[in-house]
Amino acid sequence: MTMNRRGLLGLFGAGAAIGATPAMAEAASASFAHGVASGDPGTDRVILWTRVTPAEGSSGPISVAWRVLEGEATVVSGRFDTGPERDYTVKIDVAGLRPGRDYRYDFAVGEIRSPVGRTRTLAAEGETSVNLAVVSCQLYPGGLFNVYEAIAALPSLDAVVHLGDYIYEYGAEADAYGMATGVALNRLPEPRHEIVSLADYRARHAQYKTDADLQAAHARAPFICVWDDHETANDAWLHGAENHQPETEGDFAVRKAAALKAYYEWMPIREAAPGALKEAIHRSFHFGDLASLMMVETRLTGRTEPLDYSGHLTAKDGPDGEPVLDLDAFRARLNDPARDLMGPDQREWLTRELKASKAAGRPWQVLGNQVVTARVAGPDVSRTMTPAQIEGLIAQVPEAFREQFEQALFLFKMGLPFNLDAWDGYPAGRERLYGAFADAGVQPIVLAGDSHAFWVNELKDAGGVRRAVEFGTSAVSSPSIGDAIGGFPLGAALMQANDEVAFCDQSAKGFVLLSLTKDRADATLMAVSTIFAKPFEVSPLKRFSVRPDGGLVDETGSNPPSQSTT
């Protein structure tokens, strides 16, 4: 299917009036430059969001009218007062709706009306199918958000599941992440420096929500979101982040608090309960009697300090006095039982939710998880290629990445994990997660983002027992490893080296379309042909199915779900 921008917001009637509203006294020059959004649907409620851009020079409060319509009838309406203390964002937890219903909504300041959004509540029972678009990793300078244009055109969509890296914290320096593309496309981050303060994080969220394709997707269906690391800083954990330097950027707790305040202001996510940790955003969504979606948090509530090869794989004296890598010490540290991504409170909650979902008779339990779960060792290409072949492949890698790539190939000869920031960096914690699955008596579908690659994995515990199936979505626009290493067939090499990896593509950009019915789950890996131009093509890269009591089946040769927008 060829995609081209043609007034996407117009597909939803966005910007069109849907009935008269009482005039208000606010200045007519206020606007809704950041679109509308909904999120966190329940059977009787949903979060509605927008942001009012005040008139130039205005700094006072603004009263915003909102309404929800079913068909042409207004079913609930109200007012929300906003101001600079919340960056003029508007967020309403609308209750009193009916289960399994489509609604429209909009906002108004005086005679100025917002675009119109579509949303949907969750069914209470009798759900026959659920369609979820799964996304992750949208670097604004990294490319166009063509993925969201494709999602906005889907004919059937219950929710968008966002697994994190909604924004990135980097600045616009020439060597900053993705800036070569950002300069070429004139998509430079705002502010131009790395974001640290509350004002910085607010400005970055605001820039992302000016993107027309992202606005269209938000107006199309409710989002169910969790953050990953870049909503605060790269490789964030409980007490810090790789991309946070206390000596120049201050206390990480202060930066984290600013990042989370801006996130809650700018995202259609339900506010934390009074007295609850703002970091604890794990929560559940039940799609009638068909499926439960459990969104977990693996960055800020339970993640212990990450390991990396440059800092934690040290040398020792070898038998001949020459230094050798101390693999035993590194593996001992890696397998420390205390290492975890998910603390005991969240794991106990997850176990209860999985058990309750199974007891309710739902055939599908889905985990919205940030990082790849599978056991993935880096590929030892020396086992399948001659030295000459390896040299030829290395020669295809751009010079800027060649030394790093050669170092990685050297480490991977030792069977070390491909990505220490994923669950592979926390094997004891992963076993506890699998123990929760076993205790609940379920084999869930695990969703993963973060890696900028497509994955289809069969998850097995340390004893080789299958515990779940995993579908990893590639990035919306963030650079992939495959982009950097030229013609090296990394995805194929990872598949060959790891029995848990059924499929891997380290280059394509796109999203996962997860379609659930009582008897099967279909995961279609949807790839866009480019993120550097319009128009573009969107097509199925791979399609796999799962039965509630069966294994994983490659259905790529069968007809994929229709993606027609006409």
Burial bucket for residue 174 (CB in 10 Å: 0-12, 13-18, 19+): exposed
d(CA 224, CA 214): 14
User: DSSP secondary-structure letter at 98?
Assistant: P
Residue 508 Cα distances to 178, 214, 505, 512, 527, angstroms: 16, 19, 6, 12, 6
- Kindly state whether residue 324 falls inside one of the protein's structural domains: yes
Mean pLDDT of 42-58: 94
- Kindly state whether residue 406 falls inside one of the protein's structural domains: no
Binning pLDDT at 50, 70 and 90, where does residue 551 land?
Answer: confident
Binning pLDDT at 50, 70 and 90, where does residue 400 land?
Answer: low
Burial bucket for residue 166 (CB in 10 Å: 0-12, 13-18, 19+): buried
User: DSSP secondary-structure letter at 293?
Assistant: E
Predicted local distance difference test score (pLDDT) of residue 484: 79
d(CA 71, CA 316): 72
Residue range 412-432, pLDDT digits in tens: 888 899 999 999 999 999 999
- Residues 6 or more apart whose CB falls under 8 angstroms from that of 144 comprise 185, 187, 213, 477, 531, 532, 533, 534
Residue 398 Cα distances to 19, 279, 349, 478, angstroms: 57, 40, 46, 18
- Kindly state whether residue 222 falls inside one of the protein's structural domains: no
**Spatial contact of 504 and 525, defined as CB atoms under 8 Å apart:** no
pLDDT: is 402 or 338 the higher one?
338
Closest alpha carbon to 477 in 523, 513, 525, 530:
530
Residue range 20-41, pLDDT digits in tens: 333 333 445 789 999 999 999 9
Predicted local distance difference test score (pLDDT) of residue 560: 47
Domain hosting residue 309, numbered range: 305-338
Q: How many domains would you assign to the chain? A: 2
Looking at 97, 115, 133, the residue that finishes a domain is: 115
Looking at 338, 356, 388, the residue that finishes a domain is: 338
Strands, E assignment, 461-535: 466-472, 501-505, 509-517, 521-528
d(CA 504, CA 525): 11
Predicted local distance difference test score (pLDDT) of residue 15: 38
Mean pLDDT of 550-561: 76
Residue 223 pLDDT > 90: yes
Backbone angles phi, psi at 358, to 5 degrees: -65, -40
AA identity, residue 203: A
Report pTM. 0.93
pLDDT: is 362 or 385 the higher one?
362
Looking at 64, 86, 115, the residue that finishes a domain is: 115
Task: Give percent above pLDDT 70 in the chain.
Answer: 92
DSSP H helical segments within 413-473, as ranges? 427-440
Which neighbouring-strand residues pair with 44?
none
Whole-number average pLDDT of the chain: 91
Residue 11 pLDDT > 50: no
CATH of the domain at 104: 2.60.40.380
- Kindly state whether residue 67 falls inside one of the protein's structural domains: yes
Closest alpha carbon to 140 in 173, 164, 168:
168
Backbone angles phi, psi at 326, to 5 degrees: -90, 80
Lowest mean pLDDT among 84-98, 116-130, 202-216, 552-566: 552-566
- Give the CA count within 13 Å in the CB-facing half-sphere of 186: 1
- Kindly state whether residue 105 falls inside one of the protein's structural domains: yes
Task: Count other Cβ atoms within 10 Å, centred on residue 452.
Answer: 26
User: DSSP secondary-structure letter at 548?
Assistant: T
Q: What percentage of the chain's residues is helix, strand, coil (to nearest 5)? A: 25, 25, 50
Residue 4 pLDDT > 60: no
Residue range 147-191, pLDDT digits in tens: 999 999 999 999 999 999 999 999 999 999 999 999 999 999 999
pLDDT: is 314 or 403 the higher one?
314
Residue range 239-254, pLDDT digits in tens: 999 999 999 999 999 9
Residue range 480-496, pLDDT digits in tens: 988 877 777 889 999 99
